[in-house]
């Protein structure tokens, strides 16, 4: 349909190579929605007659709401969704009417409009899913403020904490991702339509009116920027990678914690797989797939960036290849958030195993060292050496728990570093070790943001307030889009069914 200068038809192999019609399927609705607003604007700008406007809008309505019409008039051999929809309207109304629909626009601004409209909806859906996951983590946090467990660095037991502290850490991390997506929504929610191919139009169009009809907050001001830039797509891919990296870390933790060696958690049977050969197996396959899908999203970001890397300003057909990457990233992220939410909500937590690991852990060593500083007025480095010597002795002699050490044990341990002190006698050191139980290890830590129960409760309340604020913001965004689409629909129906 677009072949005004080239003669004849495209070679079938070239058409197959060029066509993005399969990848564009998700843009069908948005392309027609954008066309409705564009045609209505052309009419209100005195570029289209009322009669032609009504015929075109009726044709669009048929394509949107009647599958038989779509099958009859849509050509699946089109280069893209834009050509397919426009050619269908021309078949329905004739070229003298339908051929006016594309006045003062180009596929270049049209495709970016479609992408922005679809991406807005994806951002809202992903944002809603993120809030659901954060709320599920918060539910788990509320129930586990007293569930003591080892915390790890380098996969070695580091300090004792509580499970609520772990869940809250991801509440904070995921709220930042929500904020990133919200900021991206603001940058996405501006209309490129009316920029035409690259340099605007001599027709007296109203870009702001189209933007308003489609629920956009503004227009992309510069026409070159409007048709060339794909930064929102790169940014979406980047934020998606950051988000799924958080899910990937949770997945790895849960995979390790669900092993027989740890036994901290157990996945619900509905989110576990079995072995084809080993009947005892209960495999965390969904979590493993989140790890694998993280690489897919990372690869999509690299691919999209590489496509942009060698392009000049203005539209190039290379940009077509970013669309499937974008939608693949979106569906992958949505599926991963949804499955992680279900897993978080259904895992079984073995508090006894977590406490048992904590009670025999050397992870209270820093707590003891800090108590030695308070009671003996010694430097941190000297306290560090004392505890290092005691733990070394305990681990070399059958991994004795610190609470099981005796005066002779500590005496032998401290001889290695020639430690003597007028206040910190062997008896005093042993009494401090006995004092630092797992419960007191948590209780004695008072710093803001620590696992102390008061801090846990404060953080839970803080996140709860954030969620309420975010839900209001998201609801406002959704309502604005709903009202804009409802307003556009009413204007079209009034024009079609109540012609003067």
CATH number at residue 27: 1.10.275.10
C-alpha span between 195 and 361 (Å, rounded): 65
C-alpha span between 338 and 335 (Å, rounded): 5
Q: Which residue segment(s) compose the domain that 409 sits in?
A: 359-441
Residue 325 domain-assigned? yes
Residue 290 domain-assigned? yes
Q: Report whether pLDDT(159) > 60.
A: yes
Q: Are residues 188 and 120 both part of a single domain?
A: yes
Among candidate residues 275, 313, 316, 379, the one labeled active-site is 275
The pLDDT assigned to 319 comes to 84
Which percentage of the chain shows pLDDT scores above 70? 95
Q: Any catalytic annotation for residue 395?
A: no
Q: Are residues 219 and 320 both part of a single domain?
A: yes
The pLDDT assigned to 8 comes to 61
Residue that finishes a domain, picked among 311, 326, 351: 351
The pLDDT assigned to 144 comes to 98
Other beta carbons less than 10 A from residue 151's beta carbon? 18
The pLDDT assigned to 2 comes to 55
Among candidate residues 154, 202, 260, 500, the one labeled active-site is 154
Q: Any catalytic annotation for residue 66?
A: no
- Mean pLDDT over 352-379 rounds to 96
Q: Are residues 139 and 269 both part of a single domain?
A: yes
Where does the pLDDT of residue 114 fall: very low under 50, low under 70, confident under 90, or very high at 90 and above? very high
- Mean pLDDT over 247-258 rounds to 97
Quick: pLDDT tens for 179-225.
999 999 999 999 999 999 999 999 999 999 999 999 999 999 999 99
Other beta carbons less than 10 A from residue 327's beta carbon? 20
Q: Report whether pLDDT(58) > 60.
A: yes
Q: Are residues 31 and 84 both part of a single domain?
A: yes
C-alpha span between 38 and 201 (Å, rounded): 14
The pLDDT assigned to 80 comes to 81
Q: Are residues 286 and 425 both part of a single domain?
A: no
Residue 430 domain-assigned? yes
Do 433 and 368 meet the contact criterion of CB atoms below 8 Å apart? yes
Give the residue with greater pLDDT, 81 vs 155.
Answer: 155
User: Which of 495, 487, 493, 497 is CA-nearest to residue 209?
Assistant: 487
Q: Are residues 227 and 276 both part of a single domain?
A: yes
For 98-128, b/e burial (b = at least 16 CB within 10 A) is: bbbbbebbbbbbbbbbbbbbbbbebbbebbb
Q: Report whether pLDDT(14) > 80.
A: no
Where does the pLDDT of residue 357 fall: very low under 50, low under 70, confident under 90, or very high at 90 and above? very high
Burial class from Cβ neighbours inside 10 Å (0-12, 13-18, 19+) for residue 194 reads: buried
Q: Are residues 172 and 50 both part of a single domain?
A: no
Q: Are residues 272 and 414 both part of a single domain?
A: no
Residue 402 domain-assigned? yes
Mean pLDDT over each residue of the chain, to the nearest integer: 93
Q: Report whether pLDDT(70) > 80.
A: no
Other beta carbons less than 10 A from residue 429's beta carbon? 27
C-alpha span between 174 and 168 (Å, rounded): 10
Residue that finishes a domain, picked among 351, 375, 405: 351
Q: Report whether pLDDT(19) > 80.
A: no
Q: Are residues 275 and 258 both part of a single domain?
A: yes
- Mean pLDDT over 426-448 rounds to 96
- Mean pLDDT over 464-472 rounds to 97
Q: Are residues 94 and 220 both part of a single domain?
A: no
Where does the pLDDT of residue 298 fall: very low under 50, low under 70, confident under 90, or very high at 90 and above? very high
Q: Report whether pLDDT(22) > 80.
A: no
Residue that finishes a domain, picked among 327, 351, 375: 351
- Mean pLDDT over 119-134 rounds to 98
The pLDDT assigned to 16 comes to 62
Where does the pLDDT of residue 312 fall: very low under 50, low under 70, confident under 90, or very high at 90 and above? confident
- Mean pLDDT over 342-362 rounds to 97
C-alpha span between 153 and 173 (Å, rounded): 18
C-alpha span between 433 and 404 (Å, rounded): 9
The gap between the terminal CA atoms of the chain, to the nearest Å, is 34
Burial class from Cβ neighbours inside 10 Å (0-12, 13-18, 19+) for residue 74 reads: middle
Number of domains present in the structure of the chain: 3
Q: Would strands 156-162 and 148-153 be described as parallel, antiparallel, or unpaired?
A: antiparallel
Q: What is the CATH number of the domain that holds 248?
A: 1.20.200.10
- Mean pLDDT over 257-279 rounds to 91
What's the CA dihedral at 480, 481, 487, 490 to 10 degrees?
-140
Query: Chain centroid to CA 500: how far?
Result: 49
């Amino acid at each position: 349909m677009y072949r005004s200068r080239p003669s004849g038809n495209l070679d079938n192999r070239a058409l197959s190579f060029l066509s993005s019609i399969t990848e564009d399927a998700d843009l069908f609705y948005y392309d027609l929605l954008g066309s409705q607003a564009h045609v209505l604007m052309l009419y209100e700008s005195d570029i289209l007659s009322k009669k032609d406007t009504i015929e075109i809008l009726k044709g669009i309505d048929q394509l949107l709401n009647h599958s038989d019409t779509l099958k009859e008039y849509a050509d699946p051999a089109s280069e893209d969704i834009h050509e397919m929809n426009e050619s269908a309207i021309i078949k329905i109304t004739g070229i003298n009417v339908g051929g006016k629909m594309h006045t003062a626009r180009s596929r270049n601004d049209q495709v970016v409009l479609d992408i922005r409209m679809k991406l807005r909806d994806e951002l809202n859906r992903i944002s809603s899913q993120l809030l659901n996951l954060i709320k599920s983590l918060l539910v788990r946090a509320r129930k586990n403020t007293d569930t003591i467990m080892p915390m790890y660095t380098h996969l070695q037991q580091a300090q004792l904490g509580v499970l609520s502290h772990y869940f809250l850490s991801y509440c904070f991390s995921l709220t930042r991702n929500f904020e990133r997506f919200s900021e991206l929504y603001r940058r996405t929610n501006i209309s490129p339509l009316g920029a035409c191919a690259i340099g605007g139009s001599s027709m007296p169009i109203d870009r702001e009116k189209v933007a308003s009809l489609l629920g956009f907050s503004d227009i992309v001001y510069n026409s070159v920027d409007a048709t060339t830039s794909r930064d929102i797509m790169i940014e979406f891919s980047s934020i998606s990678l950051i988000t799924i990296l958080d899910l990937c870390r949770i997945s790895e933790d849960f995979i390790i914690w669900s092993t027989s060696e740890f036994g901290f958690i157990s996945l619900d049977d509905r989110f576990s797989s079995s072995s084809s050969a080993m009947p005892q197996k209960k495999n965390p396959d969904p979590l493993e797939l989140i790890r694998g899908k993280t690489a897919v999203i990372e690869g999509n970001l690299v691919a999209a960036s590489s496509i942009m890397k060698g392009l000049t300003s203005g539209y190039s057909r290379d940009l077509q290849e970013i669309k499937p990457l974008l939608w693949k990233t979106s569906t992958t992220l949505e599926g991963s958030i949804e499955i992680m939410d279900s897993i978080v909500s259904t895992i079984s937590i073995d508090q006894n195993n977590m406490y048992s690991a904590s009670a025999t852990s050397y992870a209270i060593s820093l707590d003891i060292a800090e108590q030695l500083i308070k009671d003996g007025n010694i430097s941190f480095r000297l306290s560090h050496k004392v505890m290092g010597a005691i733990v070394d002795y305990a681990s070399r002699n059958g991994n004795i728990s610190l609470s099981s050490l005796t005066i002779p044990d500590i005496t032998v341990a401290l001889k290695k570093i020639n430690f003597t002190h007028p206040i910190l006698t062997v008896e005093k050191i042993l009494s401090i070790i006995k004092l630092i139980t797992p419960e007191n290890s948590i209780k004695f830590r008072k710093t803001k943001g620590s696992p102390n129960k008061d801090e846990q409760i404060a953080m839970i309340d803080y996140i709860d307030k954030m969620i309420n604020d975010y839900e209001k913001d998201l609801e406002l965004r959704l309502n604005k889009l709903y009202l804009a689409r409802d307003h556009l629909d009413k204007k079209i129906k009034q024009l079609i069914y109540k012609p003067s």
